Chains A and B, each alone.
Chain A
Amino acid sequence: MSTATTVLSPRLTGATTARVLRQLRHDHRTIAMMVLLPSLLLGLLYLLWKDVPSLPGQPSTFDRVGLTMLGIFPFVVMFLVTSIAMLRERTSGTLERLLTTPLSRLDLLLGYGAAFGLAAAAQAVVTVTVATTVYDLQIAGSVWLVVLIAVANAVLGVALGLLASAFARSEFQAVQFMPVIVLPQFFLCGLLVPREQMAGWLQAISDVLPLTYAVEALQEVGRSAAETGTMWTDVGIVAGAAVLALALAAATLRRRTS
């Protein structure tokens, strides 16, 4: 009758995913914000650049920035949502309780990753649809690849959020991990300044930041109708970084605390 505790149980991971999604379902405003906010913000960018002429032969600024934002929104939003969710687990005592049950640490973290990954997929489908129809965003490649990259980014955000929350002792610290972990990746990802024009050492830092590859993958989809090898390599790197961060988060999550 005793349920053996294993490193990973798909059943318990699924139970966690279902629970997190159920929590979301009770929070209608969060769902509305998650689904609609990126589209509204993208609309603001569209209006900002609508009347600014672009150089002939170059993609318009909105096409370039808007496409990149489709990857950055889920990354930032899911990082924040996860940090807060995990901190709530900690302060409410539910985390300690979960750790006394047969649920393994990896089950818990993967369960979160899957739940917010699914939420991000819904967000990405809506945002990409609005971007390509209402704002006329030009994407040479498949929009489904954009959705895929957005979901990979969201899972990366979740994984880094879980990892960061292990080091946050208070809500104040948790929110400040956002600028610490997200902003440098945003600055150096190649959107603000093309990577080729960066100082060598900045480019070296950019090389080891996962968001760089997510942005490169989106740029590949934006300019090439066919799937490129670079794009798939980039997606692989983003997914690999997410898995690495999840594993680190599981390793830093202590069952016994003082």
Chain B
Amino acid sequence: MTDAVTVTDLVVDRGHRRVIPGLSCAVPAGRVTGLLGPSGSGKTTLMRALVGVQQVRSGTVTVLGEPAGSPGLRSRVGYVTQAPSVYPDLTVRENARHFAALYGRGARAADDALEAVGLTDAAGQLVADLSGGQRGRASLACALVGEPELLVLDEPTVGLDPVLRVELWERFHALAVAGTTLVVSSHVMDEAGRCDRLLLLREGRLLADSTPAQLRADSGTDDLEESFLRLVRAQQQEVAA
């Protein structure tokens, strides 16, 4: 299995605070990798580094064989921020078509992306008139429309109803089967079980690089939330010792 992303000794400062103090990890190609950790653990910062909009202090981030943020990567990497980043004063369809145009795709690709996130019926509505969950899906559609090889999604399921959440995860896995690499962040541990691979972050450090099954086996519990807690406690005891 090849790696789509390799991060080596990444150090990131935001303001006067060191949010990632030296992180190395890899993201396997064609899989759904979950980036899990509490709020403030550095998930978003790491994702920003992957898509090349984060100033980094040192270290290297290689994405699909090129340095993160290289011009050549911009049509191959899709990024969905945590807060929906679409134009509220445009309709859903106009948003999708605009981002389709930026990726060199047509109206058909835009319609397909809207269908994929279940927004076909809302296509003519202004984004400002949508519910929070619909806005998030509109934002997701604007990344899907480019059919990127790497899709970086920052908490894409926040505020979604359970049915929709399951549908989206099925969608993510379908994309992975088709060859797309996905990095999906979440602070909800019950979503960790849906990932092929897990990167657990805490205070900018990698707590575990594992699979859900391995994590359960290592910690001796079926509850991933509990596994995470045990890992944190074990690490704290190590530091104290």
Please, what's the 1-or-0 string for B123-147, where 1 marks a CB less than 8 Å from any CB in chain A? Answer: 0001000000000000000100010
Q: B69 and A256: CB pair below 8 A?
A: yes
Whole-angstrom CA separation of A15 from B94 in the bound complex: 11
A26 CB contacts on chain B under 8 angstroms: 89-91, 126
Number of interface residues of A (CB under 8 A): 28
Point out which of B56, B88, B126 has the most chain A C-beta atoms below 10 A from its C-beta.
Answer: B88
Q: B102 and A102: CB pair below 8 A?
A: yes
Main SS class of interface, B = loop
Q: A23 and B89: CB pair below 8 A?
A: yes
Q: B75 and A255: CB pair below 8 A?
A: no
- Segment of B35-43, B46-54, B201-209 engaged in the interface with chain A: B46-54
B75 CB contacts on chain A under 8 angstroms: 2-3, 5, 101-102
Taking the complex as formed, is B228 at the interface, i.e. its CB lies under 8 A from any CB of chain A?
Answer: no
**Chain A, residue nearest B19 (CB):** A258
Q: B55 and A101: CB pair below 8 A?
A: no
Q: A255 and B54: CB pair below 8 A?
A: no
A257 CB contacts on chain B under 8 angstroms: 53-55
Whole-angstrom CA separation of A26 from B90 in the bound complex: 7
Taking the complex as formed, is B27 at the interface, i.e. its CB lies under 8 A from any CB of chain A?
Answer: no
Q: A97 and B79: CB pair below 8 A?
A: yes
Whole-angstrom CA separation of A103 from B101 in the bound complex: 10
A211 CB to closest chain B CB (Å) equals: 30
Taking the complex as formed, is B233 at the interface, i.e. its CB lies under 8 A from any CB of chain A?
Answer: no
A255 CB contacts on chain B under 8 angstroms: 52-53, 69
Whole-angstrom CA separation of A94 from B135 in the bound complex: 13
Q: A5 and B71: CB pair below 8 A?
A: yes
**Chain A, residue nearest B82 (CB):** A93
CB < 8 Å neighbour of A98 from B72, B78, B102: B102
Whole-angstrom CA separation of A170 from B224 in the bound complex: 41
Which residues of A from 5 to 42 have beta carbons under 8 Å from B?
5, 11-12, 15, 18-19, 22-23, 26-27
Number of interface residues of B (CB under 8 A): 38
Please, what's the 1-or-0 string for B12-29, where 1 marks a CB less than 8 Å from any CB in chain A? Answer: 011100000000000000
**Chain A, residue nearest B147 (CB):** A1
Whole-angstrom CA separation of A5 from B69 in the bound complex: 12
Which residues of B from 88 to 112 have beta carbons under 8 Å from A?
88-91, 94, 98-99, 101-104
B84 CB to closest chain A CB (Å) equals: 8
A19 CB contacts on chain B under 8 angstroms: 87, 90, 94, 98
**Chain B, residue nearest A15 (CB):** B101
Given A15-B101, A92-B88, A101-B103, decide whether A258 and B14 contact each other with a Cβ distance below 8 A: yes
Taking the complex as formed, is A216 at the interface, i.e. its CB lies under 8 A from any CB of chain B?
Answer: no
CB < 8 Å neighbour of A256 from B52, B74, B99: B52
Taking the complex as formed, is B83 at the interface, i.e. its CB lies under 8 A from any CB of chain A?
Answer: yes
Point out which of B53, B69, B99, B102 has the most chain A C-beta atoms below 10 A from its C-beta.
Answer: B102
Whole-angstrom CA separation of A191 from B2 in the bound complex: 68
- A-contacting residues of B (Cβ < 8 Å)? 13-15, 51-56, 69, 71-72, 74-79, 81, 83-91, 94, 98-99, 101-104, 126, 142, 146
> What would 22 A/B residue contacts be, using CB atoms closer than 8 Å?
A3-B103, A4-B71, A5-B75, A11-B104, A12-B102, A15-B98, A15-B101, A26-B91, A92-B83, A92-B85, A97-B79, A97-B81, A100-B51, A100-B74, A101-B74, A101-B103, A102-B75, A256-B52, A256-B53, A256-B56, A257-B54, A258-B54
- B-contacting residues of A (Cβ < 8 Å)? 2-5, 11-12, 15, 18-19, 22-23, 26-27, 92-94, 96-103, 255-258
